[in-house]
């Protein structure tokens, strides 16, 4: 398996785990039964858990274009050192984005998002160049 595809697998796996903290917070604040029966859907979450939920939503939204460019580059045979480097950068940017979102450190979330977006664009340019 190529490094690009490994990074895609890591991004997908981490994105699939990002819901766990805010669901656990929901269970803690609203109770397990209320959470499991959807009675707690409109209960407020702690601020950090709400940020985790938004970070997860953002990760899901950005997984689609990242997966598309990685898979297209692989299928087209244009995966190279540049796509490898930027797929690793994308993974790191998404990790920083998640924890930056939770921590509310100024500019970290936005900077990490921008780096992730740039990674997608660089890989895209390898495809169309």
Residue pLDDT, tens place only, 32-84:
999 989 888 889 999 999 999 999 999 999 999 999 999 999 999 999 999 99
Q: What is the pTM of this model?
A: 0.93
More confident residue, 38 or 126: 126
- What are the strands, taking DSSP E only, across 33-121? none
Residue 106 has pLDDT above 90, yes or no: no
Domains of the chain: 3-18+46-128 (1.20.120.550)
CA distance linking residue 120 with residue 83, whole number of Å: 9
Going by pLDDT thresholds of 50, 70 and 90, the confidence category of residue 117 is: very high
Residue 20 has pLDDT above 90, yes or no: yes
């Amino acid at each position: 398996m190529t490094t690009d595809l490994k990074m895609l697998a890591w991004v997908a796996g981490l994105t699939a785990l990002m819901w766990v903290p805010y669901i656990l917070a929901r269970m803690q604040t609203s109770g397990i039964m209320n959470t499991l029966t959807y009675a707690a859907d409109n209960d407020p979450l702690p601020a950090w858990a709400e940020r985790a939920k938004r970070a997860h939503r953002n990760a899901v939204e950005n997984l689609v274009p990242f997966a598309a460019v990685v898979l297209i580059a692989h299928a087209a045979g244009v995966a190279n050192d540049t796509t490898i480097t930027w797929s690793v950068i994308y993974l790191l940017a998404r990790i920083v984005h998640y924890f930056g979102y939770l921590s509310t450190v100024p500019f970290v979330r936005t900077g990490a998002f921008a780096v992730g977006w740039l990674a997608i664009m660089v890989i895209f340019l390898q495809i169309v160049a």
